[in-house]
A and B are shown apart, each in its own frame.
Chain A
Amino acid sequence: MKKVIMGNHAVSYGVRASDVKVISAYPITPQTQIVELLSEMCAKGELDAKFIAVESEHSALTACVGASAAGVRTFTATSSQGLLLMHEIIHWAVGGRYPIVLVNVNRAVGPPWSIWTDQNDSLSQRDTGWLQIYCESNQETQDTIVQAFKIAETVKLPVMVVLDAFYLSHTFEIVDILEPEQVRPFLPPYKAEVRIDTASPHSLGNLASPGEYFELRYMIQKAMEESRDVVRDVDREFEKRFGRGYGMVKPYRCDDAEYILVTSGTVASTTRAVIDEMREEGIKIGSLKIRVFRPFPFEDVYQVLSKAKKVGVIDRNISFGHHGIFYQEIKSALYGRTAVPMVGYIAGLGGRDVTPKVIRSIADNLLTNKKPEPDINWIGVKI
Chain B
Amino acid sequence: MGEKITFKSYKEMPLCAMSIADMTYNLTGSWRNVRPYYDFKISPCRLGCPTAENIQRYIFLVTEGDYEQAWKAIIESNPMPSVTGRVCFHPCMEKCTRKDFDQAINIPAIERAIGDRGLENPSWMKKVPASRKEKIAVIGAGPAGLSAAFYLARRGYPVTIFEADSALGGTLRWGIPEYRLPNNLLDRVIASILESGPITVKAGTSVGRDITLEKLEKEFSAVFIGTGLTKSRSMGVPGEEGRGIEHGLEFLRKVNRGEKVNPGARVVVVGGGNTAMDVARCARRAGSEVTVVYRRTMNEMPAIKDEIEEAEHEGVYFHFLAAPKSIERRGSGPLKVVFQQMKLAQPDESGRRRPVPDGDKTFAMEVDTLFTAIGEEADAAPFGKAIELDGALIRTKNESGETSAKNVFAGGDAVTGAASVVEAIAAGRKAAERIDRMLSGQPEPAVEEPRTISIENINTAYFTKAKRVLAPRITADQALKGYGEIHAGFDDELLHREADRCFSCGVCNFCDNCWVYCPDVAVKRLAAEYEFDYDYCKGCLVCVTECPRSAISTREEGR
Would you call B7 and A215 a contact (CB within 8 A)? yes
- Is the C-beta of A58 less than 8 angstroms from some C-beta in chain B? no
CB-contacts of B1-56 with A (<8 A): 6-7, 9-10, 13-20
Would you call B16 and A194 a contact (CB within 8 A)? yes
Would you call B10 and A219 a contact (CB within 8 A)? yes
Contact (A215, B10) CB under 8 Å given A95-B17, A202-B20 = yes
Contact (A97, B19) CB under 8 Å given A212-B7, A215-B7, A218-B10 = no
Chain B contacts of A95 at CB under 8 A? 16-17
CB-contacts of A18-75 with B (<8 A): none
18 further contact pairs, Cβ within 8 A, besides A202-B20, A204-B18: A96-B16, A97-B16, A156-B15, A193-B15, A194-B14, A194-B18, A202-B19, A203-B18, A203-B19, A204-B16, A204-B17, A205-B16, A205-B17, A211-B6, A215-B7, A215-B13, A216-B17, A219-B13
Contact (A202, B18) CB under 8 Å given A215-B10, A219-B10 = yes
Would you call B17 and A208 a contact (CB within 8 A)? yes
Chain A contacts of B20 at CB under 8 A? 202
Would you call A206 and B17 a contact (CB within 8 A)? yes
Would you call A194 and B15 a contact (CB within 8 A)? yes
Q: Can you name 20 A-B residue pairings with CB atoms under 8 Å? A: A95-B16, A96-B16, A97-B15, A97-B16, A194-B16, A202-B18, A202-B20, A203-B18, A204-B16, A204-B17, A204-B18, A204-B19, A206-B17, A206-B19, A208-B17, A212-B7, A212-B13, A215-B7, A219-B10, A219-B13
CB distance from A91 to the nearest CB of B (A): 13
Chain A contacts of B18 at CB under 8 A? 194, 202-204
Q: How many residues of B contact A (CB 8 A)?
A: 12
Give the docked Cα–Cα distance between A75 and B18 (Å).
Answer: 23
Chain B contacts of A96 at CB under 8 A? 16
Q: In the complex, which residue of chain A has the Cβ closest to the Cβ of B19?
A: A203
Give the docked Cα–Cα distance between A193 and B14 (Å).
Answer: 10
**Contact string against B for A residues 118-134, beta-carbon threshold 8 Å, 1 for contact and 0 otherwise:** 00000000000000000
CB distance from B339 to the nearest CB of A (A): 89
Chain B contacts of A219 at CB under 8 A? 10, 13, 15
CB distance from A225 to the nearest CB of B (A): 14
CB distance from A92 to the nearest CB of B (A): 11
Give the docked Cα–Cα distance between A193 and B15 (Å).
Answer: 8
Give the docked Cα–Cα distance between A97 and B14 (Å).
Answer: 11
Give the docked Cα–Cα distance between A324 and B335 (Å).
Answer: 133
Give the docked Cα–Cα distance between A177 and B16 (Å).
Answer: 36
Top 5 closest A-B pairs, CB basis? A215-B10, A203-B19, A97-B16, A202-B18, A202-B19
Would you call A216 and B19 a contact (CB within 8 A)? no
Give the docked Cα–Cα distance between A306 and B46 (Å).
Answer: 100
CB-contacts of A211-243 with B (<8 A): 211-212, 215-216, 218-219
Give the docked Cα–Cα distance between A216 and B14 (Å).
Answer: 9
Give the docked Cα–Cα distance between A259 and B20 (Å).
Answer: 56
Would you call A216 and B16 a contact (CB within 8 A)? yes
Q: Looking at chain B's contact residues, is the secondary structure mostly helix, strand, loop, or mixed?
A: loop
CB distance from B2 to the nearest CB of A (A): 15
Q: In the complex, which residue of chain A has the Cβ closest to the Cβ of B22?
A: A203
**Contact string against B for A residues 173-201, beta-carbon threshold 8 Å, 1 for contact and 0 otherwise:** 00000000000000000000110000000
CB-contacts of A91-111 with B (<8 A): 95-97
Chain A contacts of B19 at CB under 8 A? 202-204, 206
Q: In the complex, which residue of chain B has the Cβ closest to the Cβ of A193?
A: B15
Give the docked Cα–Cα distance between A204 and B16 (Å).
Answer: 8
Task: Pick from B10, B14, B16 the residue with the most CB of A within 10 Å.
Answer: B16
Give the docked Cα–Cα distance between A155 and B16 (Å).
Answer: 13
**Contact string against A for B residues 71-87, beta-carbon threshold 8 Å, 1 for contact and 0 otherwise:** 00000000000000000
CB distance from A167 to the nearest CB of B (A): 37
Chain A contacts of B16 at CB under 8 A? 95-97, 194, 204-205, 216
Q: In the complex, which residue of chain A has the Cβ closest to the Cβ of B6?
A: A211
**Contact string against A for B residues 256-286, beta-carbon threshold 8 Å, 1 for contact and 0 otherwise:** 0000000000000000000000000000000
Give the docked Cα–Cα distance between A255 and B366 (Å).
Answer: 147
Q: In the complex, which residue of chain B has the Cβ closest to the Cβ of A98?
A: B16
Chain B contacts of A194 at CB under 8 A? 14-16, 18
Give the docked Cα–Cα distance between A193 and B18 (Å).
Answer: 11
Chain A contacts of B14 at CB under 8 A? 194
Give the docked Cα–Cα distance between A314 and B7 (Å).
Answer: 46
CB distance from B471 to the nearest CB of A (A): 55
Chain A contacts of B13 at CB under 8 A? 212, 215-216, 219
Give the docked Cα–Cα distance between A204 and B19 (Å).
Answer: 7
Chain B contacts of A218 at CB under 8 A? 10
Chain B contacts of A211 at CB under 8 A? 6
Give the docked Cα–Cα distance between A208 and B18 (Å).
Answer: 10
Give the docked Cα–Cα distance between A216 and B13 (Å).
Answer: 8
CB distance from B8 to the nearest CB of A (A): 10
Give the docked Cα–Cα distance between A215 and B17 (Å).
Answer: 10
Give the docked Cα–Cα distance between A205 and B7 (Å).
Answer: 17
Chain B contacts of A206 at CB under 8 A? 17, 19
Q: In the complex, which residue of chain B has the Cβ closest to the Cβ of A207?
A: B17
Chain B contacts of A208 at CB under 8 A? 17
CB distance from B18 to the nearest CB of A (A): 5
**Contact string against A for B residues 428-453, beta-carbon threshold 8 Å, 1 for contact and 0 otherwise:** 00000000000000000000000000
Chain B contacts of A216 at CB under 8 A? 10, 13, 16-17
Chain A contacts of B9 at CB under 8 A? 215
Chain B contacts of A205 at CB under 8 A? 16-17
Give the docked Cα–Cα distance between A218 and B15 (Å).
Answer: 11
Chain B contacts of A215 at CB under 8 A? 7, 9-10, 13
CB distance from A251 to the nearest CB of B (A): 36
Chain A contacts of B15 at CB under 8 A? 97, 156, 193-194, 219
Chain B contacts of A202 at CB under 8 A? 18-20
Give the docked Cα–Cα distance between A10 and B20 (Å).
Answer: 42
Q: In the complex, which residue of chain B has the Cβ closest to the Cβ of A205?
A: B17
Q: In the complex, which residue of chain B has the Cβ closest to the Cβ of A201?
A: B19
Q: In the complex, which residue of chain B has the Cβ closest to the Cβ of A96?
A: B16
Q: In the complex, which residue of chain B has the Cβ closest to the Cβ of A213?
A: B17
Give the docked Cα–Cα distance between A203 and B18 (Å).
Answer: 6
CB-contacts of A292-315 with B (<8 A): none
CB distance from B23 to the nearest CB of A (A): 10
Chain A contacts of B7 at CB under 8 A? 212, 215
Task: Pick from B9, B17, B19, B20 the residue with the most CB of A within 10 Å.
Answer: B17
Give the docked Cα–Cα distance between A204 and B17 (Å).
Answer: 6
Q: In the complex, which residue of chain B has the Cβ closest to the Cβ of A156?
A: B15
Give the docked Cα–Cα distance between A139 and B17 (Å).
Answer: 38
CB distance from A363 to the nearest CB of B (A): 46
Q: In the complex, which residue of chain A has the Cβ closest to the Cβ of B12?
A: A215
Chain A contacts of B10 at CB under 8 A? 215-216, 218-219
Q: In the complex, which residue of chain A has the Cβ closest to the Cβ of B14?
A: A194
Give the docked Cα–Cα distance between A95 and B14 (Å).
Answer: 12
**Contact string against A for B residues 483-507, beta-carbon threshold 8 Å, 1 for contact and 0 otherwise:** 0000000000000000000000000
Give the docked Cα–Cα distance between A95 and B6 (Å).
Answer: 20
Q: In the complex, which residue of chain B has the Cβ closest to the Cβ of A195?
A: B18
Chain A contacts of B17 at CB under 8 A? 95, 204-206, 208, 212, 216
Give the docked Cα–Cα distance between A193 and B6 (Å).
Answer: 22
Give the docked Cα–Cα distance between A249 and B69 (Å).
Answer: 88
Q: In the complex, which residue of chain B has the Cβ closest to the Cβ of A211?
A: B6
CB distance from B550 to the nearest CB of A (A): 39
CB distance from B82 to the nearest CB of A (A): 58
Give the docked Cα–Cα distance between A208 and B416 (Å).
Answer: 78
CB distance from A235 to the nearest CB of B (A): 25
Give the docked Cα–Cα distance between A194 and B18 (Å).
Answer: 8
Give the docked Cα–Cα distance between A203 and B17 (Å).
Answer: 8
Q: In the complex, which residue of chain A has the Cβ closest to the Cβ of B16?
A: A97
CB distance from A214 to the nearest CB of B (A): 9
**Contact string against B for A residues 76-103, beta-carbon threshold 8 Å, 1 for contact and 0 otherwise:** 0000000000000000000111000000
Give the docked Cα–Cα distance between A194 and B17 (Å).
Answer: 10
Give the docked Cα–Cα distance between A206 and B20 (Å).
Answer: 11
Chain B contacts of A212 at CB under 8 A? 7, 13, 17
Give the docked Cα–Cα distance between A219 and B15 (Å).
Answer: 8
Give the docked Cα–Cα distance between A313 and B20 (Å).
Answer: 48
